[in-house]
Structures are given as C-alpha cells and as structure tokens.
Amino acid sequence: MIRVESLRKCYKGTAVLDGIDWRVENGEFVILTGRSGGGKTTLLSVMGGLTKPDEGRVLIDDIDIWKISEPDLASLRNRKLGFVFQLPSLMPALTVLDNIFLPIALSGRSPNREDRERARSLLEMVGVTGKEEQYPAQLSGGQQRRTAIARAMINRPPILLADEPTGDLDEKSEDEIMLLFQMINQQGTTVVMVTHALKYIGFGKAYTLKEGRLNPFEEPQAPPETTTGKGLT
C-alpha cells in the first residue's frame, strides 16, 4: 500500500532521512521509534504528503504522490489518509461534532445524513458519546485526543498516520488510546505510528530510525556485568 524508495531529506546540511527504502503492507500496524529529533515525524510527514522530500519517491497504491498536482495530492490525502498529530489540534471555536466534520469541509462539501450517522458512530467507538455539542476546552486531554481520532477516521481512510498520539496523556488514558488504535487496525485500517513508549512495541511491526536509516527494532541489550574485585589483595 505504501512504498518508499531512496527517500532523502536534509535540514541545515544534515540528512534526517538518508536513502530510506521501505514498504508498509495493507492492514499492518507499524511502530516507528528512535531518539527525539531523529527524523520520525519528518518521515511520517513525507509519507503523508505534507513535507516534500529532497530525493526519492513515496507511492500510495502505486501513485507517486510527489509527482501529482497539489489539488490531486490534497484529494488523495483527504481520501486515503487520516492524521493524528502530537497535539489534538482541535479548532477551539467549533463544537466536537463540527471538528469531526473538518475533513469533509476541506473536501468542499457539507456533511450529509450519512456523515452525521458515521460521526456519532465514531464518537461512540472512541468513547465521547454525549459530547457532540461541547467545545474542546470542555473536554479532558484524553477526550480531545479521542475526538481527534474520530476526526481522522470520518472519511474512512485506509491509512492512519499517528505522531506521538499518547505523549501528553496519563498512563491510563495512554493505554486506552493505544487499545483504540489496535481496534481500528483490527477493523482493516493500516496504522503507522511514531512513539517513544517502548511498552507498545508489541502492538505491531517495529522499526528504529537512527542517523537517517530505518532498521527493524531490536531490544536494548543489558550492559555486561562487571567484576566487583572480590578476592583481590
């Protein structure tokens, strides 16, 4: 579904993505980890059609997304990709329901009856039922994140890109959000997620981005035991 070829992106002369070749298959749950500032968010942004690479290609369903026109790219993002960012990024002047309808508005149409039924179904799925007419400031951090997930799913995208979606939540909310992503994946959506939380590595196929290169995740090795000097004189 997603194919990355010879991908390269530099900032101030430093390659944060250095010739990456990668493939994400239909229905996979993929975890990206690595140190802060190592390029994970950049990789997600390039894959999602938000940041243009210096070199290389990104193909979604065999469409080279950086070779098509900006209107076609915007249409592709709206149809095929859902985004959950580090912060919920909800519009404070809009109700929960209107925030969820934003991707529909960006496609140039008004929500219809089917959209409204889907929005309410999504709110029930993410556990924010009854909050439709409230504003983001009236929600907890976890509820805001759940609303952002519902917004990302309103257009039924086959791919969900999530950048540190649990980074500022308490442990209980963090676990609940991760289980929600797992449920979305089990329903057939491909999930690509950036996270620092190594306890969630087992949710999917995990990779580490380090020095611009992407490699399968390996568990950190325990340091070797040192001698205590017992018996020495």
What's residue 227's pLDDT? 47
Structural domains for the chain: 2-94+158-216 (3.40.50.300)
In contact, 133 and 96? CB cutoff 8 Å: yes
Tokens of 196: 């620092």
SS3 breakdown of the chain: % helix, strand, coil, rounded to 5?
35, 25, 40
What's residue 25's pLDDT? 95
- CA–CA gap between residue 111 and residue 176 (Å, rounded): 29
233 residues of the chain, pLDDT tens digit each = 899 999 999 998 899 999 999 999 999 999 999 888 889 999 999 999 999 999 999 999 999 999 999 999 999 999 999 999 888 889 999 999 999 999 999 888 899 999 999 999 999 999 999 999 999 999 998 899 999 999 999 999 999 999 998 877 888 888 988 999 999 999 999 999 998 888 888 888 999 999 999 999 876 555 555 444 444 33
Residue-wise pLDDT tens digits, 184-198: 999 999 999 998 888
Burial of 187 (0-12, 13-18, 19+ CB in 10 A): exposed
What's residue 214's pLDDT? 93
Question: What does pTM read for this prediction?
Answer: 0.88
Residue-wise pLDDT tens digits, 97-113: 999 999 999 888 899 99
